[in-house]
Structure 1
Amino acid sequence: MRRPKIRNQDRINSILPDELILEIFRHIGDKSSRDACALACKRWRHLERPSRHTIRLGASASPDALVKLLVRQFVNVRNIFIDERLPISHPIQGRRHGSDQSALSSLRLHFMTDEKSGSEESEPEPCYLSDAGLTAVAEGFTKLEKLSLIWCSNVTSEGLKSVAEKCRSLRSLDLQGCYVGDQGLAAVGECCKQLEELNLRFCEGLTDGGLTELALGVGKSLKALSIAACARITDVSLKAVGSHCKSIESLSLDSDCINNEGILAVAEGCPLLKVLKLQCINATDEALKAVGVSCLSLELLALYSFQKFTDKSLYAIANGCKRLKNLTISDCYFLSDKGLEAIAIGCSELTQLEVNGCHNIGTLGLESIGRSCMHLSELALFYCQRIYNSALLEVGRGCKFLQALYLVDCSNIGDDGICSIAKGCKNLKRLHVRRCYEIGNKGIIAIGEHCKLLTDLSLRFCDRVGDEALVAIGQGCPLHQLNVSGCHQIGDAGIIAIARGCPELSYLDVSVLQNLGDMALNELGEGCPLLKDIVLSHCHQITDVGLAHLVRKCMALESCHLVYCPNITSAGVATLISGCANIKKVLVEKWKVSERTKRRAVPKPLVPPAQMA
């Protein structure tokens, strides 16, 4: 974007006052447009910087220095997200003007895996954000409202104390994977009286003392709390949460050290609870009974890996939690059809249901859901060997608003079940099927004929699905995403039908298709100009010629996986890199990447990348 000039006269900067330009910037929501404004001239850059409210950082070579740079340049930041799980990477070609703008580049490209050794190309040894960097954040961004420090392992209580003391408007704090101690958490409780959200997952340095102090300090404001793998947080501190945090609406607990006593305290002390996620293997029916009696506003319940819960728990939830909309039960071996039937009758407003590995739940339970839960919009069945086609028949009859269906390793569900869904659930937008070997062309053809809103289809390792099914999908569904990895009967004809019928396709995974060739790639290039991500790994028939056709027309391509494609050579990889201006990630054998291609793809950045919004 350039500043308009007419006959050497600056008709904008000479007339418009700062206040009006600032007001224009406030109405620009798109990040790329803001970046363009910042590059127009020095005055616009100076005026635009205060409008940036969010910083996102991955791992960087000198995080403390980068933070200090950002503090000097952007004074009104409210939200900071630092995630050191993200690797150091380099921006693609395209140098920006000015060192500050170079720091903001977020385009990345990775070359991974060596076909012969199987090892990934080593990343540079990262450095980590320290207490000094966190102190710079606290002193520079005193208006901070949201702070996320994901796996920032060098941050301690000292850094957290500085944030607590300086950033008293803090509302959301995520410390996942940080080894902070009780002193830092106590300081947050003492100073941050507006804190509403706190994530303490994998904070191994915390004990009951720190959480108790926090509950005493922010009990009136705290609304969401997450705890996982904190071995020294027990029922003692949960009692404090139940006593002082009356406004809690969301609680997530994953711990072997928490028993009935702690859950009972929270259930009885936090009547506003709407979201409850539990993975506490020592809890029993007594805990869920208390939830059913006291938490009448509960809307989401997720139960993971319980060996002591029985149908009595679901009876209690069904009797008390009439507002329940979202239920997940995973690896709860003693729950049966009777419990699910009780939920269907008592919680008829249910919209989302996930059953994962609960081997005693079968057809009868799901049939009850189909008959009673007419508002169901999402259904996920994972490893449900006792659920048969008749269950999906009832879902198809009763759940007209179903929009998403996920089936994984459901060996007794076949074409008849999918046909029932297709004919009854015409609002279906997403269908994901994996390793359901009884589902074939008949069921998927029915989806293509009846589900005209389907945009996301995944059929991984469904051996009976072939080209005929994809022809029906191409003719009937406006797909944006398609995954047919491992569907060995699919070849050029099926993918060509998708290319001709789904012009808005943006994601495609055709890995492990042995019959796929260059003709399909050519058609994809012609018919799918919006394609951004494609996975071609283990496709033995495709060659550099087909890849060149794809690259020439798919100008939006950002990611391409080409591992174990024997007829793709270094020349094909070079064509991909040079022909795709937006490419960010290529997965390919290391030996297929020449030094010249590497230099072209990943020039060394001037400073570590960051993202501003």
Structure 2
Amino acid sequence: MKGQDWINLMLPDELILEIFRNLGSKATRDACALVCRRWLTLERLSRDTIRISGSGSPDSVVNLIASRFVNVTNLYIDERLSGSHPFDSGRRGNVRQSTWLRLRLMAERFESYCLSDAGLAAVADGFTKLEKLTLIWCSNATNAGLTFVAQKCRFLKCLDLQGCYVGDQGLSAIGECCKQLEVLNLRFCEGLTDTGLVDLAIGCKKTLKSLGVAACAKITDVSLEAVGSHCRILETLSLDSEYINNKGVIAVAKGCPLLKNLNLQCIMVTDEALTAVGSLCMLLESLALHSFQRFSDKSLCAIGKGCKKLKSLMLSDCYFLSDKGLKAVAAGCTELSRLEINGCHNISTYGLESVGRSCMHLTELALLYCQKVGDKALSEVGKGCKYLQALHLVDCSVIGDDAICGIAIGCKNLKKLHIRRCYEVGSKGIIAIGDNCKYLTDLSIRFCDRVGDEALVAIGNGCPLLCHLNVSGCHQIGDTGITAIARGCPQLTYLDVSVLQNLRDMTLAEVGEGCPLLKDIVLSHCREITDVGLAHLVKRCKWLESCYMVYCPGVTAAGVATVISTCVNIKKVLIEKSKVSARTRRRAGSAISYHCVDL
């Protein structure tokens, strides 16, 4: 009946709460909260995650939100996020202050605008159901504040401390009180020593599953020995340290039989530790090794021999690894699905060929700065890895069209292809992708000078599901290629055509007509684009959220104003400051970012 509020009359609170919990976006939930007081109250009860800035009087903000959102289980506080700074902006009085007094007042003000122990006490009192707490660069938080949290938030399962100057007492309190803690991340926690981490390992020995330690100079092998002795169910370990040696890693390998994920950037670790991992960690599924210069193929041979369940392997700047080690992994770890090789200069075509022959379940392959890997390697991957869905190539100077054709013919399920600065790749390879890979959704061919319009015509004709396209710096691509994309790829949401000197306004009109779902476009350094083309684009692309158009001489303040006024969802416009009128600045100042041209 007209005028009757059937929703509030008929639906109980529990059902409306469940509806709110299943709403997709924060904006939608905020809109629902404005309908009536009942919906506002219920929407607050449905919130389980809150992100706030660690600056701009965060202590008072925490007090405020704690009284309104009582069911929050995930709290994220980041001092890098922008916050309000209610400094007094009134006219200065005539009282002259000394330099010392002014500096002291500034320091006191700065401290009041950072999360302090009082704010953490408010977190502890207001969010007793908290399960996940993330504190990023909250430099004023100390042991006392973390102890408050430990004593009140007994359901805490995940704690992330990055750049927080908490010490051993706070971490020990977490270990003593939070008996359900499963995940702990410590990064740039300069006040921590082995004492705090040992206490936590003892206190949370029955629940701790994931531990991350990075740039904590006072944490040594002693901590890892305690983890290995007590935390028998540990599954994930991430270490970035100059002070961890073989002893600590071996202790974890011996004491944590359930270890599945290992990420190491430890310059003191050698073959001895990795050999222990290979022989003892039979359940290992993911291994990432960064900047290792003290171990050799012996380590990878041990991994290949013992870690039969390995699915993901990342090797970055490991200079002493060669094809022998990679072949051992390929032969032993046949379940491998993700492989990334970055800057390992002794790995060549032969090593990648062994991967193509043995790892039939490979779904993602990334080769970065691999100067010795040639076409034959990827041709072998194309023959053997039929399930490959993502291929990333960066600065692989020997790889050319034959390799891409091999991938296109063999890996018809390919969804993502990213190529950057591979100057031997040309139109022939990309045409093969368009002819064979019908499920392609993401194509990036940045600074590939030999790719021309005919390649994009093939993509437009053969890849109707394409959502993401980046052809930045491909100088041979012009109106014909981008027009083919506009007419053949209606699902396109991201387009980067920066540095295309021959792109004109009529092409932007085609993009606007054919790609109504477009959200992000990069037009920087397109010298032929003018206000006319922008007007045609934004007329149809109603969902546009970002537009980058620096160094486009044909774009004026009028064109910028057109984008701002037409696109109601616009969030970021990157442009030279001189092209923004005062009216546009007043209308959408928060959405405009200025490119520095005075350097």
TM-score by length of 1: 0.90
Give the match for residue 575 of structure 1: 562
Give the match for residue 451 of structure 2: 465
Match of 1:50 among 45, 54, 74: 45
Q: Do the aligned partners of residues 423 and 413 (structure 1) sit closer, same or farther apart at CA in structure 2, a change above 3 Å counting?
A: same
Give the match for residue 533 of structure 1: 520
Aligned residue runs from structure 1 range 108-257, under 5 A: 127-257=113-243
C-alpha separation between the residues in 1 aligned to 2:417 and 2:226?
44
Match of 2:356 among 370, 374, 379: 370
Q: Does structure 1 conserve the Cα–Cα contact (< 8 Å) formed by 2:55 and 2:81?
A: no
Deviation at 1:19, TM superposition (A): 4.0
C-alpha separation between the residues in 1 aligned to 2:300 and 2:18?
54
Give the match for residue 309 of structure 1: 295
Identity, in percent, stands at 72
1:243-273 Cα deviation digits (max 9, x unpaired): 1111110000000000101111111111100
Give the match for residue 549 of structure 1: 536
C-alpha separation between the residues in 2 aligned to 1:398 and 1:87?
49
Give the match for residue 62 of structure 2: 67
Match of 1:328 among 304, 314, 327: 314
Determine whether 1:515 maps to 2:502.
yes
1:89-114 Cα deviation digits (max 9, x unpaired): 99xxxxxxxxxxxxxxxxxxxxxxxx
Give the match for residue 104 of structure 2: none
Aligned alpha-carbon RMSD (Å) = 1.8
Match of 2:79 among 72, 84, 96: 84
1:318 maps to amino acid: G
Secondary structure of the residue aligned to 1:312 is helix
Q: Do the aligned partners of residues 588 and 30 (structure 1) sit closer, same or farther apart at CA in structure 2, a change above 3 Å counting?
A: closer
Match of 1:37 among 25, 32, 41: 32
C-alpha separation between the residues in 1 aligned to 2:164 and 2:554?
46
Determine whether 1:295 maps to 2:281.
yes
Deviation at 1:295, TM superposition (A): 0.5
Give the match for residue 114 of structure 1: none
1:548-584 Cα deviation digits (max 9, x unpaired): 1111111100011111111111111111111110000
Q: Do the aligned partners of residues 417 and 27 (structure 1) sit closer, same or farther apart at CA in structure 2, a change above 3 Å counting?
A: closer
1:286 maps to amino acid: E
What number of residue pairs does the alignment pair up? 566
Q: Do the aligned partners of residues 60 and 501 (structure 1) sit closer, same or farther apart at CA in structure 2, a change above 3 Å counting?
A: farther
Give the match for residue 597 of structure 2: none
Q: Do the aligned partners of residues 569 and 271 (structure 1) sit closer, same or farther apart at CA in structure 2, a change above 3 Å counting?
A: same
C-alpha separation between the residues in 2 aligned to 1:11 and 1:283?
67
Q: Do the aligned partners of residues 576 and 27 (structure 1) sit closer, same or farther apart at CA in structure 2, a change above 3 Å counting?
A: closer
C-alpha separation between the residues in 2 aligned to 1:15 and 1:531?
40
Deviation at 1:603, TM superposition (A): 7.1
C-alpha separation between the residues in 1 aligned to 2:275 and 2:17?
55
Determine whether 1:405 maps to 2:400.
no
Q: Do the aligned partners of residues 126 and 540 (structure 1) sit closer, same or farther apart at CA in structure 2, a change above 3 Å counting?
A: farther
Q: Does structure 1 conserve the Cα–Cα contact (< 8 Å) formed by 2:363 and 2:389?
A: yes
C-alpha separation between the residues in 2 aligned to 1:564 and 1:411?
30
Secondary structure of the residue aligned to 1:203 is coil
1:464 maps to amino acid: R
2:30 maps to amino acid: D
Deviation at 1:498, TM superposition (A): 0.7
Q: Which runs of 5+ in 2 are unaligned?
A: 86-109, 592-599
C-alpha separation between the residues in 1 aligned to 2:112 and 2:486?
42
Q: Do the aligned partners of residues 497 and 235 (structure 1) sit closer, same or farther apart at CA in structure 2, a change above 3 Å counting?
A: same
Deviation at 1:484, TM superposition (A): 0.7
C-alpha separation between the residues in 1 aligned to 2:328 and 2:578?
59
1:536 maps to amino acid: L
Secondary structure of the residue aligned to 2:362 is coil
Q: Does structure 1 conserve the Cα–Cα contact (< 8 Å) formed by 2:461 and 2:488?
A: yes
C-alpha separation between the residues in 2 aligned to 1:30 and 1:507?
20
C-alpha separation between the residues in 2 aligned to 1:28 and 1:405?
34
C-alpha separation between the residues in 2 aligned to 1:581 and 1:572?
15
Secondary structure of the residue aligned to 2:67 is helix
Q: Does structure 2 conserve the Cα–Cα contact (< 8 Å) formed by 1:59 and 1:126?
A: no
Q: Does structure 2 conserve the Cα–Cα contact (< 8 Å) formed by 1:315 and 1:339?
A: yes
1:344-380 Cα deviation digits (max 9, x unpaired): 1100110000011000000111000000000000000
1:294 maps to amino acid: L
C-alpha separation between the residues in 2 aligned to 1:43 and 1:89?
29
Secondary structure of the residue aligned to 1:252 is strand
1:594 maps to amino acid: S
C-alpha separation between the residues in 2 aligned to 1:399 and 1:12?
54
Q: Do the aligned partners of residues 465 and 190 (structure 1) sit closer, same or farther apart at CA in structure 2, a change above 3 Å counting?
A: same
C-alpha separation between the residues in 2 aligned to 1:23 and 1:381?
45
C-alpha separation between the residues in 2 aligned to 1:418 and 1:347?
25
Deviation at 1:513, TM superposition (A): 1.1
C-alpha separation between the residues in 2 aligned to 1:71 and 1:125?
21
Secondary structure of the residue aligned to 1:427 is coil
Secondary structure of the residue aligned to 1:82 is strand
Q: Does structure 2 conserve the Cα–Cα contact (< 8 Å) formed by 1:260 and 1:282?
A: yes
Q: Do the aligned partners of residues 575 and 163 (structure 1) sit closer, same or farther apart at CA in structure 2, a change above 3 Å counting?
A: same
Q: Do the aligned partners of residues 555 and 58 (structure 1) sit closer, same or farther apart at CA in structure 2, a change above 3 Å counting?
A: farther
2:44 maps to amino acid: R
Give the match for residue 483 of structure 1: 470
1:595 maps to amino acid: A
Aligned residue runs from structure 1 range 597-608, under 5 A: 597-602=584-589
Worse-superposed segment, 401-410 or 172-181: 172-181
C-alpha separation between the residues in 1 aligned to 2:227 and 2:7?
57
Secondary structure of the residue aligned to 1:602 is helix
Q: Do the aligned partners of residues 582 and 28 (structure 1) sit closer, same or farther apart at CA in structure 2, a change above 3 Å counting?
A: closer
Q: Do the aligned partners of residues 342 and 523 (structure 1) sit closer, same or farther apart at CA in structure 2, a change above 3 Å counting?
A: same
2:215 maps to amino acid: A
C-alpha separation between the residues in 1 aligned to 2:15 and 2:311?
46
C-alpha separation between the residues in 2 aligned to 1:15 and 1:473?
53
Give the match for residue 101 of structure 1: none
Determine whether 1:350 maps to 2:345.
no
C-alpha separation between the residues in 2 aligned to 1:389 and 1:270?
41
Worse-superposed segment, 23-32 or 498-507: 23-32
Q: Does structure 1 conserve the Cα–Cα contact (< 8 Å) formed by 2:460 and 2:484?
A: yes
1:422-455 Cα deviation digits (max 9, x unpaired): 0000000000000000000000000000000000
Q: Do the aligned partners of residues 565 and 327 (structure 1) sit closer, same or farther apart at CA in structure 2, a change above 3 Å counting?
A: same
Deviation at 1:153, TM superposition (A): 2.2
Give the match for residue 596 of structure 2: none
Q: Do the aligned partners of residues 575 and 127 (structure 1) sit closer, same or farther apart at CA in structure 2, a change above 3 Å counting?
A: farther
Deviation at 1:30, TM superposition (A): 4.8
C-alpha separation between the residues in 2 aligned to 1:16 and 1:495?
51
Q: Does structure 1 conserve the Cα–Cα contact (< 8 Å) formed by 2:335 and 2:361?
A: yes
C-alpha separation between the residues in 1 aligned to 2:13 and 2:479?
59
Deviation at 1:49, TM superposition (A): 1.6
C-alpha separation between the residues in 2 aligned to 1:126 and 1:587?
33
C-alpha separation between the residues in 1 aligned to 2:426 and 2:376?
17
2:456 maps to amino acid: L
Q: Does structure 2 conserve the Cα–Cα contact (< 8 Å) formed by 1:88 and 1:126?
A: no
Determine whether 1:500 maps to 2:487.
yes
Worse-superposed segment, 538-547 or 27-36: 27-36
C-alpha separation between the residues in 1 aligned to 2:512 and 2:471?
18
Give the match for residue 106 of structure 1: none
Q: Which runs of 5+ in 1 are unaligned?
A: 1-5, 91-123, 605-613
1:446-466 Cα deviation digits (max 9, x unpaired): 000000000000001101111
